[in-house]
Amino acid sequence: MGSGKTTAAINFIKNSNDDVKFLYITPYLDEVNRIIKSCPSKQFKQPKSYGTKIKGIKYLFERKENIVSTHSLFKQFDKEIIDLAYNNNYILIMDEVADVIEPCNISEDDYKTIINNYAKPDDNHILRWYATDYEGVFEPYRKLCDIESIAVYSNKLFVWLFPITTFKAFKQIYILTYLFQAQTQKYYYDFYGLTYKYLFVTGDNINNYRFTEKNNKVCNNIDYSKLIHILDNAKMNQIGDLDTALSKSWYDRNKTNGLLKQLKNNCVNYFNNIIKSKSQDCLWTTFKSYRKKISGKGYTKGFVSCNIRATNSYRNRNTVSYLINVFFNPIIKNFFNENGVQVDEDAYALSEMLQWIWRSAIRDDKDIQLYIPSKRMRELLQDWMSKMSKGSDTNEN
């Protein structure tokens, strides 16, 4: 995190030939503006709404423009856009991984109706729609089948998959992220048997940051154990001692008893008494549906969603509270396992946590105070810091 991936991508774009066309996908609009301003000679365009944003991006593809847009629009790509991207030889650069798989909310009766009458899974569990003359309430599923975007799991559930044909439409793809080997998109690529390689960032200043296949340990000269000050307080941390404490299921299970109130009281005590932080210095997270229950005096406005990525908006925050225990969605994990793709639960949790913590002042190598009551998450972070200080981390970019 913060090792110059986006800057290296910008330099790569600026130094490319004029006949090379780019689609740059980023999570946030402020990063859209950054790409436009940083690459003036490439004249990046945002999709305007010609009725819809999808029509707007098709217009730009037809004109072979360099395009910058967001992840949310990328998820809506259809067959026509895929054809345009493929035939115009675009390079895709993704700032952070995409949401590529989700469980479908479908009843058992509807599942059986579709399987028994309209569609069947192929040998790779991808659902194929065979009822060619079908018109009815399951039309959304038929359309998803047309782009190979529904898979069957355990003969009872559907799983939505990002259409792999979208990724295959680009002659090259660069994904700017850290610890890719622990992330869902990596497991998704493994499910489809796609090949990929890891790149790193090299260069002695931002003007010549560039990608390289050589493993540059750009962060290993920093001892994070001296910058990340984790609260060591048995009473404050007791609430997270059990392996699954502070997981989403733990929150759901304890929402009507006194444990969430205790967690809130711990947070109030941490920010207001132990650290005595100012409101503008606070950064904290929990599961979004429990934000109001954990919010408290002096830190409420410092809430940032636990899945936030690729933003520098909070780099001045130095008092941090990470109040969750991350686990892979069990349906998605079992879907991958069922298809021979093994998920590393701890590596995934570490990746999610690091991405969030790196929104704070630590991204500028500044000290932060951190309250992380989950024993499991705390130990994962401490182990990572130890490896980094010893220079043994793979530091994949």
SS3 call for 231? coil
Q: How many CB atoms lie within 10 A of CB 122?
A: 11
User: Cα 375 to the chain's mean position, in Å?
Assistant: 23
> How many whole angstroms separate alpha carbon 86 and alpha carbon 84?
6
Residues 181 and 32 in one domain: yes
CA angle (70, 74, 75) in 5-degree steps: 120
CATH code where residue 172 lies: 3.40.50
Tell me phi and psi for residue 120, to 5 degrees. -140, 145
The owner of tokens 């799991």 is 153
Tell me if 201 sits within 8 A of 211, measured CB to CB.
yes
Tokens of 159: 């799983």
> How many whole angstroms separate alpha carbon 128 and alpha carbon 215?
42
Structural domain includes residue 176: yes
Tokens of 347: 């590596």
Four-CA torsion 327, 395, 363, 29, nearest 10 degrees? -70
Tell me if 320 sits within 8 A of 304, measured CB to CB.
no
> How many whole angstroms separate alpha carbon 74 and alpha carbon 92?
11
Q: Where are the alpha helices (DSSP H) in the chain?
A: 5-14, 29-38, 53-62, 71-74, 79-87, 108-117, 139-146, 164-168, 184-192, 234-237, 248-253, 259-269, 291-294, 330-338, 345-357, 375-390
Tell me if 200 sits within 8 A of 395, measured CB to CB.
yes
Structural domain includes residue 80: yes
Last residue of a domain, one of 141, 161, 181: 161
Residues 12 and 110 in one domain: no
Residues 183 and 291 in one domain: no
Residues 201 and 306 in one domain: no
Last residue of a domain, one of 212, 239, 272: 212
Residues 154 and 169 in one domain: no
Query: What's residue 395's pLDDT?
Result: 44
Residues 323 and 386 in one domain: yes
Residues 108 and 145 in one domain: yes
Structural domain includes residue 323: yes
> How many whole angstroms separate alpha carbon 201 and alpha carbon 149?
34
Query: What's residue 392's pLDDT?
Result: 55
> How many whole angstroms separate alpha carbon 88 and alpha carbon 34?
25
Structural domain includes residue 218: no
Domain tally for the chain?
3
Structural domain includes residue 397: no
Structural domain includes residue 396: no
Tokens of 205: 């200043």
pTM: 0.87
Burial class (CB in 10 A: 0-12, 13-18, 19+), 342: exposed
> Residue 251: which residues within 8 A CB-CB, separation 6 or more?
260, 286, 287, 289, 290
Identity of residue 45: K
Q: How many CA atoms lie within 13 A of 93 on its CB side?
A: 23
Residues 58 and 201 in one domain: yes
SS3 call for 103? strand
Provide the residue-wise pLDDT of the chain in tens; the chain has 397 residues.
Answer: 777 889 999 999 999 998 899 999 988 777 888 899 999 999 999 988 677 888 999 999 999 999 999 888 888 888 888 899 999 989 999 988 888 999 998 999 999 999 999 999 999 899 999 998 899 999 999 989 988 899 998 888 899 999 898 899 998 999 999 889 999 999 999 999 999 999 999 888 888 899 998 876 554 467 888 999 999 999 999 999 999 999 999 999 999 999 999 999 999 999 999 999 999 999 999 999 999 999 999 999 999 999 887 677 899 999 999 999 999 999 999 999 999 999 999 999 999 999 999 999 998 889 999 999 999 999 999 999 988 876 655 444 4
Residues 155 and 168 in one domain: no
Query: What's residue 391's pLDDT?
Result: 63
Query: What's residue 360's pLDDT?
Result: 95
Would you say the C-alpha torsion 71, 76, 82, 84 has a positive or negative sign?
negative
**Ordered DSSP codes for 116-169:** HHTEEE-TTSBEEE--TT--STTHHHHHHHHTT-EEEETTTEEEEE--HHHHHT
User: Cα 225 to the chain's mean position, in Å?
Assistant: 25
Distances (CA, A) of 52 to 48, 55, 63: 8, 5, 17
Question: Domain containing 137: what range?
Answer: 101-161
Residues 262 and 346 in one domain: yes
End-to-end Cα distance, the chain = 8
Structural domain includes residue 178: yes
Beta strands 119-121 and 90-95: pairing type? unpaired
Q: How many CA atoms lie within 13 A of 221 on its CB side?
A: 3
Structural domain includes residue 217: no
Identity of residue 150: I
Residues 168 and 148 in one domain: no
Residues 181 and 200 in one domain: yes
